[in-house]
Amino acid sequence: MSQIRTIQTESNSPSSSLHSTMATSNGFLTTPTKTTLNDKNSSSSVSRKHHRFHQKTTDSSSSFKARFEAYNRLQAAAVAFGEKLPIPEIVAIGGQSDGKSSLLEALLGFRFNVREVEMGTRRPLILQMVHDPTALDPRCRFQEEDSEEYSTPIMSASAVADTIKSRTDTLLKKTKTAVSPKPIVMRAEYAHCPNLTIIDTPGFVLKAKKGEPESTPEEILSMVKSLATPPHRILVFLQQSSVEWCSSLWLDSIREIDPTFRRTVIVVSKFDNRLREFTERWEVDTYLSASGYLGENTRPFFVALPKDKSTVSNEEFRHQISQVDLDVLHHLQNSVKGGFDEEKYKSQIGFSCLKDYLESELQKRYKEAAPATLALLQQRCSEVTTELNSMDSKIQATSDVAHLRRSSMLFASSICNHLGSLIDGAVDPDPEQWGKTTEEERLESGIGSWPGVSNAIKPPNGSLRLYGGAAFERVMHEFRCATYSIECPPVSREKVANIILAHAGRGGGRGIVEAAAEIARAAARSWLAPMLDTACERLAFVLRNLFDLAIERNHHSHANYAKKIVDMEGYIGFHAALRHSYNSFIQNLSKECKQLVRHHLDSVTSSYSQICYETDPITPYRYRHSTLFLELSQHKTKTSRKENVPNKDTTPGKLVDPREAYKTIPETPSPDQPSDDNFVIKKENEIYKRPSRIHGNNNNLRSGCSYSEICLSASQHFARIREVLIERSVTSALNSGFLTPCRERLMVALGLDLFGVNDEKFMDMFVAPGAIDVLQNERESLQKRQKILHTCLSEFKSIATSL
């Protein structure tokens, strides 16, 4: 059984056991900075008792050392690999200027915070002290601000102070605050320091300094509380000796964190400032007992440190520390009448007692924490092993062509299925997040408004976020609205005259009907062709967007249902190739569709086309479709209520009787009427037997073909061409040109692109430059982590056996 346990059985209260442990620790905690103070008093009964134990506990002390080193290594690993392990640590807490930083320096055995102007601690400083007998001069390294790496050692104390100051200044400037919870991490290796991790915190203040935000005191308080809350941390609470416990400003805050002071060590600092007030023994003893303010079992330490701030050597600094300890004791023993109750209080007086206590307390905590640490280590080890195995298979998979072909085909096929579902209508992923309004589609596609249409086209449901098949259908509708919103543009008198006269000149000209038809054809070609192109591009945009959604759906089903779906995560080259192939597929479809619908346009505007002379009524689009394309969005504004609602005024676009439309063209008497009206009319009647939609006008024409009548006729032809084009061919051509191939040809197209290549070319998708190196590096660092964790684990296993 270890010495600590033996002592503990002699004591009832945990706190007094800790103090006894501290007193006994001299025999086995041989930190080189130990003062000779306790050796000098080896005649005391406590020390004699310890001496008897000394032989017996040689083995225990070596196991303490082993435990210490095991934790030390674990701590290094935890810091280096960002492992969150509840390793026992010490947090120094207290009011401003109560001496926290000075205590840290004394523990470290050298002064590192020497500055001309005291700034006060503004960021927590995690000080990892590593006892290294080979480091005769202190080696201080700072952990880089946002990395696990440590800087090269800084040897000079002023450089250490400057680093702390500049890091503090830089961060506070950035955060524009007076304090920051982001710690500075400093690792100090030194032959004269113990193995200890201690966190220095900003001192509590009552009021913000001038120029600092008002909230600074609360910020410091809450930051320190959060640093002190983890139960594996020991709190060292400092309060100056000049302050009475009854008027302590911060004791209640400490009680909030640790109500029974179970893990709190109370330190009365600057004890030298109080000494002169004692003349009688009872005064000292009353003071040292803390007058019961801290409870029966909590007994503070009384510490004084050198106040001389002149630059001295590190050795001299340590000597001064020991000397102050001796002076304090000497004063209490000789300058106070009757001395003081040494049996009761001596073990609490002086820095060296505190230091020994902290070391032994930490040892004790290490020991207590060992089983939990061991369990955690076992868990972390097996986790890291699993990570390493999966990394190994990832690396192996990068060179296994057959495996890669199989999994990438499965992936591509899964993406195609998702694309199909999205086209057929799906609600996953969330349309509100992934869908787009018509306006967003227009803006993001960069295609802009419909060519030749000045009014904004607002299709039903334009404000809803749609994707896939629904968005496709909405664009189709928008396209129809756009085409119906244009009219046959007015044609100049010169143009009309040029056509009619040319026909007349050729002898047996084709008449005004043919002239009007030609004007309408030309107008349809020049106005509808760009709109058809735009429709194809807008539809292609809707389909191109589906790729990300399909990936998301695939990922989602992967995560949600834990199905064996291949994710191909990390294969950036393959993902890029798949996306490129899909985009090219859609691009080609768009190109093909453009050609196809252009062909339809050519056909309806051909001079061989009978369309202009057909009498079959074409059910206007608005009547055929208006009830099918439901308006589902909520209309709030007057304008939106009107958005292409299938009524007489607006739907679709502006479908009006061409004759009415024509009324908008100002009718002026034609000064350029063909001189031989009868010729034209006669010729027309003679040559053209075709039924004409403008027969009703023939009487007018007969009586005189005016410019306005030709325009009217052209406008009728234009409307006819447009309706035939949209209703009979383009709608179905776009549907079958885009959607059918997406359902039926996509997988084959992707397959040919990605897999119909030789192995060497195929593997190009999987050997992105540096990708394997990244995997290898990750593997190496995992291996390192595994090795260190395993070493820690076996160390802790052997420690466990000696507990």
Ligand X SMILES: Nc1nc2c(ncn2[C@@H]2O[C@H](COP(=O)(O)OP(=O)(O)OP(=O)(O)O)[C@@H](O)[C@H]2O)c(=O)[nH]1
Judged by CB under 6 A, the stretch of 185-193, 267-275, 465-473, 660-668 that binds ligand X is: 267-275
Q: How far apart are CA 699 and CA 336, in angstroms?
A: 137
CA distance 254 to 94: 9
Among 34, 50, 100, 465, binds ligand X (CB under 6 A): 100
List the one residue from 88, 94, 109, 741 that touches ligand X (CB under 6 A).
Answer: 94
In the complex, the smallest distance separating the C-beta of residue 75 from ligand X, rounded to whole angstroms, is 23
Q: How far is the CB of 245 from ligand X (least distance, A)?
A: 18
> Using CA atoms, how far apart are residues 257 and 111, in angstroms rounded to an integer?
30
Ranges within 184-223 binding ligand X (CB under 6 A) = 203
Q: Which of 174, 307, 624, 690 binds ligand X (CB under 6 A)?
A: 307
Report the residue number, 98 or 795, with the smaller CB distance to ligand X.
98
Which of residues 7 and 224 has its CB atom nearest to ligand X in the complex? Answer: 224
CA–CA dist 735, 634 (Å, integer): 28
Beta bridge partners of 150: 143
The residue whose Cβ lies closest to ligand X is 203
Strand, helix or coil at 437? coil
Q: Is 631 in the site for ligand X (CB under 6 A)?
A: no
Would you call 116 helix, strand, or coil by DSSP? coil
**Shortest approach of ligand X to residue 115 CB, angstroms?**
10
Task: Tell the smallest beta-carbon distance from residue 304 to ligand X (Å).
Answer: 4
Per CB under 6 A, the segment of 2-10, 153-161, 303-311, 572-580 that binds ligand X is 303-311
**Which string of x and - marks every residue 117-156 that binds ligand X (by CB under 6 A)?**
---xx-----------------------------------
Q: Kindly state whether residue 167 participates in binding ligand X, applying the rule CB under 6 A.
A: no
- The tokens 């967003």 sit on which residue? 440
Cα distance between residue 137 and residue 351, in whole Å:
22
Contacts to ligand X from residues 515-544, by CB under 6 A:
none
Q: How far is the CB of 467 from ligand X (least distance, A)?
A: 58
Q: Judge contact between 201 and 246, C-beta under 8 A.
A: no
The site for ligand X, by CB under 6 A, has a size of 18
Q: Is the peptide bond before 429 cis (omega within 30 degrees of 0)?
A: yes
Q: Which of 96, 557, 698, 700 binds ligand X (CB under 6 A)?
A: 96
| Least gap, CB of 261 to ligand X (angstroms) | 20
Nearer to ligand X, 239 or 373 (CB): 239
The residue (of 309 and 690) whose beta carbon lies closer to ligand X is: 309
Is the CB of 117 or the CB of 562 nearer to ligand X? 117
Query: Would you tell me the crossing angle of helices 677-687 and 511-561 to the nearest 10 degrees?
Result: 60
Task: Kindly give the pairing relationship between strand 184-190 and strand 139-142.
Answer: antiparallel
Q: In angstroms, what is the minimal distance from the CB of 321 to ligand X?
A: 10
Regarding beta strands 196-200 and 125-131, do their DSSP bridges make them parallel or antiparallel, or are they unpaired? Answer: antiparallel
Nearer to ligand X, 120 or 751 (CB): 120
236 pairs with which residues across the strands?
Answer: 92, 265
Among the residue ranges 93-101, 352-360, 436-444, 455-463, the one whose residues contact ligand X (CB under 6 A): 93-101
Token duo for residue 802: 């000696």
Find the shortest distance in angstroms from Cβ 260 to ligand X: 25
**What H or E segment, with its residue span, contains residue 128?**
strand 125-131
Q: Are 307 and 105 in contact (CB under 8 A)?
A: no
Query: Which residue's CB is nearer to ligand X, number 118 or number 146?
Result: 118
**239, β-bridge pairs:** 268
Cα gap 415→409, rounded to integer Å: 10
325 binds ligand X (CB under 6 A): no
- CB closer to ligand X, 308 vs 424: 308
Residue from 2, 47, 61, 101 touching ligand X (CB under 6 A): that is 101
Our CB check for ligand X shows the closer of 278 and 547 to be 278
What is residue 55's three-state secondary structure?
Answer: helix
Contact of 100 with 146, CB cutoff 8 Å: no
Instruction: Identify whether the C-beta of residue 483 lies closer than 8 Å to the C-beta of residue 531.
Output: yes
CB 525 within 8 Å of CB 601: yes
Cβ closer to ligand X: 125 or 765? 125
Among 88, 99, 217, 658, binds ligand X (CB under 6 A): 99
- Dihedral sign (CA 210, 214, 218, 223): negative
Among 89, 272, 518, 631, binds ligand X (CB under 6 A): 272
For residue 788, give the nearest of 365, 185, 392, 380 by alpha carbon: 380
Please state the length of the chain: 803
Residues of this chain that interact with ligand X (CB under 6 A) are: 94, 96-102, 120-121, 203, 269-270, 272-273, 304-305, 307
